[in-house]
Chains A and B, each alone.
Chain A
Amino acid sequence: MAPEPPLLTMSGITKLFPGVRALDGVDLEVQAGEVHCLLGQNGAGKSTLIKVLAGAHQPNDGEITWRGEKVQLKSPIAAMRLGIATIYQELDLVEGLSVAENVFLGHEPTSAGFIVRTGEGRAAAKALLARLGHPEIDPARHVGDLSAAQQQIVSMARALSHEVRLIVMDEPSAALDPDEVDNLFRIVEGLTADGVAVVYISHRLEEIRRIGDRVTVIKDGRTVAVGLPAADTPTRDIVAMMTGRDVAYVFPPRPDEPAAITGEPVLRVQGLSRKGEFAPVDLELRPGEIVGLAGLVGSGRSEILETIYGARKASTGTVTVAGKQLRPGSVRAAVAAGIGLAPEERKAQALLMTESVTRNVSVSSLSRFARIGWIDRGGERKAARSATRELQMRPDNPDAAVRTLSGGNQQKAVLARWLLRGCRVLLLDEPTRGVDVGARAELYAVIRRLADEGLAVLLVSSEVPEVLGLADRVLVLREGEVVHTAPAQELDEHRVLDLVMEGSPTP
């Protein structure tokens, strides 16, 4: 093996927050030129660890060795000077500034120390973007006008604008389409070929298999495995180490016969469209049925859900629930008719993060617990709790603030809201985004059970296996148009990807 010392060694890193031991002796060792994957459930301490590495948090205990020398990372600037760059999951770009200004924010090329040399910055930014495979991004454009994927590239260009030896990427693929993920991997390969080390965090095991060299697994603030080979450690073992139990990544069985799903459609969408977002869509949902929408980011999936829900106003077409046509563009009409939405951005669009589980669950059914506005808090709590219990939320603490919950439990809180409301149609947008591998199977079972109890479910997911595994029927979307409809059993991942990509320019 390599005779020279590792690029980075972190040992026994401990970080305490008031009442919480976020890190409890984590070890991490990274070699120059490798892709080192960091795995762990939400709350395992990954984010805290990379913030320590970025100089954003100071550890209470432990040692960091950088290129053979003991160092202290007292601030983000100190980490950057050593050559450690971090690309956070939540992009930290200034939307009102241009691409070039963002790339060189804090270290702009200047004359006389304060006059920004705009032209030079733009040329340098252009070169960096080209190196990242995106020469088409104009350095003069405002970052706010770019797509999420392009913003990610800008973020990466900013990291590379420093002299880097180690780049930390926190879920870089979360907002990307498959072809953009391919580009990301090319970039990562280019970096490692230059001897730069990459610490890669992702929930997607298949990505780790593709580009990872070694894997470190952390759980409950501790390292449980170091230096596993990324390519051939069995998934089962990795999941077991992350969760501490054996969980198969399984989907619940569908109803024995598809014919079991009969009866009148509860949701009927006819000719629904939105100018510039998606072409007229027709679809019907029967009670007990799960219908999946498969498509790339930007294919109009989320937009269709939000338009059905009334959060966006349709250009044409109608939405009918149980025979009653909904007033377009009215969330309240949709909710009153029995539609519930679990949106893509749970934290931004669904949850009151600082409020308790009970209050998050009851928020859509408040009037049920109120007489002339006065809330029966005992009844509210009891009803909310029975909803969360039905969804097997654990730990079962109705007073816990939602922000302290794991992604899976947060999603259950959203589902419990609609269960309590007694909705008939559930719209799920990326229901397992940010949910740990271990908790996913449980969530799938919950969704299927809700359908078995008579709910109609419309599912959107960018993970094709999820759509195929969970849905009864699948609609494939491409650029705002439904290009194919088929029972899930008749499709496989390759077929769906072909349908999704067909006609789109190959990079």
Chain B
Amino acid sequence: MTQPAPSAQHNGPDKGAVAAPSDTPPSKSGGGMPALGLRLDVRILSLLGVLAALVLVGGITEPDAFLDTGNLQLILTQASVIGVVTVGMTFVIISGGIDLSVGAMVALASVWATTLATQEYGFAGIAFTAVIVGLAAGLVNGVLIAYGNMVPFIATLAMLASARGLALQITDGKTQIVTVDSVLDLGLPDSYILGIPPLVIMFAVVVIVGWLILNRTTFGRRTVAVGGNAEAARLAGIDVRRQRLYLYLLSGLCCGIAAFMLIVLAGSGQNTNGNLYELDAIAAAIIGGTLLSGGRGTIVGSVLGVLIFTTITNIFALNNLQSDVQQIAKGAIIVAAVLVQSRTMRGRET
């Protein structure tokens, strides 16, 4: 045992007062920045890997049915509706919030846009109404949360209940068949552009615009700042309330667009539309790497999350497996993704 005696030993080279070691490699361009989204980090690569594996499984179990062009178009179309909702949800979650009312807003917008009165105004009437109803519902959420100081969970839960109720009141539980041909045509193979359904193109546009807003604009920056540290954002001079209001408006807008897409796809409006979309959208964002506590997330990750879920559903349906098995598989994937997520987080800790 060493006796306690004064001694000074200088070990190693003196590097001077240097900051704690950085795990971000220095880079000349902005390419290494964390929140960029496009950066092919481990998470995005692993999601791509999962998707590739699913395609492989689909290709092996049902080679003819799965890889059929029509089936692939179907997968993408189905992914488009929930995908648009997920883009809005991703913004809200990155800001540290949550929007439980997306499914109900989709339902409300889809039935309001398909009433007989609205259909008289044709294509424009349906599209306009769907978007406006979505925005209006989002506005109510935003005002309650940003200026009424309500917890997002509660405010949007209330919206979920009342929007569903209003949708039922409008339809009286009946399916509202769409008779406007120009709307229905959008869903037909004749309108496919280079084999791509118009709905998929709409989804792609929403994704690209969403990515640009998140990564290239002040709006995106402020969203991340509010979610990462709302108090710091406020003290840095950001109008946190207004930002929150805009975010729920954005989610409502996405729901309005999704409602229109659903009308095209189903050829009708129903008060049961968008059932459990909130859970699918939250799950897709989470497995895509968006932190539920806010401050971090990517549009690309969320899109991959949506594609993974939609592909699983498709493969299970092709293999005649019941939806109960699907639900279990989805649950397992969410758990696995969050476990991976918390592992990588722990690895970063010092």
Cβ distance B247 to chain A, nearest Cβ, rounded Å: 14
**Shortest Cβ gap from A227 to chain B (Å):** 5
Q: A22-B350, A377-B216 are in contact. Are A227 and B6 (CB under 8 A)?
A: yes
Given A348-B232, A436-B17, A377 and B4 contact (CB-CB distance below 8 Å): no
Provide the bound-state CA to CA distance between A417 and B21, in Å. Answer: 23
Interface size on A, residues (CB 8 A): 81
Interface presence of A280 (CB below 8 A): no
| Nearest A residue (CB) for B226 | A352
Most buried by A among B5, B34, B229: B229
Residues 74-133 of A at the B interface (beta carbon under 8 Å): none
Interface 1/0s, chain B 207-225, versus A by CB < 8 A?
0000000001111011011
- A241 to B8, Cβ gap below 8 A? yes
Distance in angstroms from A156 CB to nearest chain B CB is 26
Q: Decide: A401 near B19, CB < 8 A? Known: A228-B8, A370-B218.
A: no
What does the 1/0 interface line of B30-43 toward A look like (CB < 8 Å)? 10111100000000
List B contacts of A358 (CB < 8 A): 33
Q: Whose C-beta in chain B lies nearest to the C-beta of A20?
A: B21
Q: Which of A42, A228, A354 contacts B34 (CB 8 A)?
A: A354
Of B111-119, B235-243, B282-290, which stretch is located at the interface? B235-243
Taken residue by residue from 217 to 250, chain A's Cβ proximity to chain B (1 for < 8 Å, 0 otherwise) reads as: 0001011111111000100010001011100000
Bound together, the chains give a CA A370 to CA B2 distance in angstroms of 63
**When the two chains form the complex, which single residue of B1, B9, B30, B231 contacts A349, counting CB atoms closer than 8 Å?**
B231
**Are B239 and A332 in contact (CB-based, < 8 A)?**
yes
Is A6 in the interface zone, CB < 8 Å from B?
yes
The verdict on A351 contacting chain B, using a C-beta distance below 8 Å, is yes
- CB-defined contacts of B235 to chain A, threshold 8 Å: 309, 311, 331, 341, 343, 349-350
Q: How far is the CA of A436 from the CA of B17 in the complex (A)?
A: 9
User: A399 contacts B33, CB within 8 Å?
Assistant: yes
A405 at the interface (CB under 8 A from B): yes
Residues of A with C-beta under 8 A to B3: 1
Question: Does any Cβ of B come within 8 Å of A72's Cβ?
Answer: no
Query: Which residues in B have their C-beta under 8 angstroms from that of A19?
Result: 21, 23
Given A223-B9, A227-B7, A374-B216, A20 and B30 contact (CB-CB distance below 8 Å): no
Check: A507 CB closer than 8 A to any chain B CB. no
Contact of B222 among A6, A21, A348, A366 (CB under 8 A): A366
Asked if B30 and A399 make an inter-chain contact with CB atoms under 8 angstroms apart, the answer reads yes
Are A229 and B6 within 8 A (Cβ)?
yes
In the complex, 13 of the A-B residue pairs with CB atoms within 8 angstroms, ordered by the A residue number, are A29-B4, A224-B10, A233-B6, A245-B17, A334-B237, A349-B232, A356-B24, A363-B236, A373-B217, A399-B33, A404-B19, A404-B21, A406-B18
A residues sitting closer than 8 Å to B (CB atoms) are 1-2, 5-6, 9, 17-22, 24-25, 29, 31, 41-43, 48, 214, 220, 222-229, 233, 237, 241, 243-245, 309, 311, 331-332, 334-336, 341, 343, 348-356, 358-359, 363-364, 366-367, 370, 373-375, 377, 381, 394-395, 397, 399-401, 404-406, 408-409, 417, 421, 436, 438-439
The 9 closest A-B CB pairs, nearest first, are: A244-B14, A43-B20, A335-B237, A406-B19, A225-B8, A404-B22, A373-B217, A352-B228, A366-B218
